[in-house]
């Protein structure tokens, strides 16, 4: 899942509402499709989550999360569990994105 944080998030939004879950396609050849996020894709979620100023700064298709590679599970891991590596690609010409490893890193 993806957690949204920062100064553009409304203060009254509960922590559990800041997550966007993207589930893999179980049993498909492409188990984790590309996820495109932006004002045109998840309009109601973004409108409820972001301040008006932040919502207006969000592009219609702002960025995408795409799988890069999948690795076999380490020895002793649960059956069928594999590690995946993802990349965030900025799709906006005017508005950059910032990717952090955790919500705590946003303030750093």
Per residue in 47-73, pLDDT (tens digit) is 999 999 999 999 999 989 888 766 666
pLDDT of residue 81: 55
The residues, ordered by sequence, that sit 6+ positions from 25 with a Cβ below 8 Å of its Cβ are 31, 32, 33
Whole-model pTM: value is 0.68
The residues, ordered by sequence, that sit 6+ positions from 63 with a Cβ below 8 Å of its Cβ are 36, 37, 38, 88, 89, 90, 91, 92, 97
Place of tokens 């969000």: 58
Q: Cα–Cα distances in Å, from 32 out to 29, 36, 62? A: 9, 12, 19
pLDDT single digits (tens) 25-38: 666 665 678 888 89
């Amino acid at each position: 899942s993806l957690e949204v944080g920062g100064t553009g998030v409304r203060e009254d939004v509960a922590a559990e509402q800041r997550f966007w879950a993207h589930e893999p396609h179980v049993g498909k050849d492409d188990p984790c499709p590309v996820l495109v996020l932006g004002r045109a894709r998840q309009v109601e979620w973004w409108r409820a989550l972001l301040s008006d100023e932040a919502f207006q700064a969000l592009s219609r298709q702002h960025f995408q999360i795409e799988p890069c590679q999948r690795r076999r599970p380490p020895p002793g891991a649960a059956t069928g569990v594999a590690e995946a590596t993802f990349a965030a690609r900025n799709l906006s010409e005017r508005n950059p994105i910032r990717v952090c490893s955790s919500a705590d890193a946003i303030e750093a």
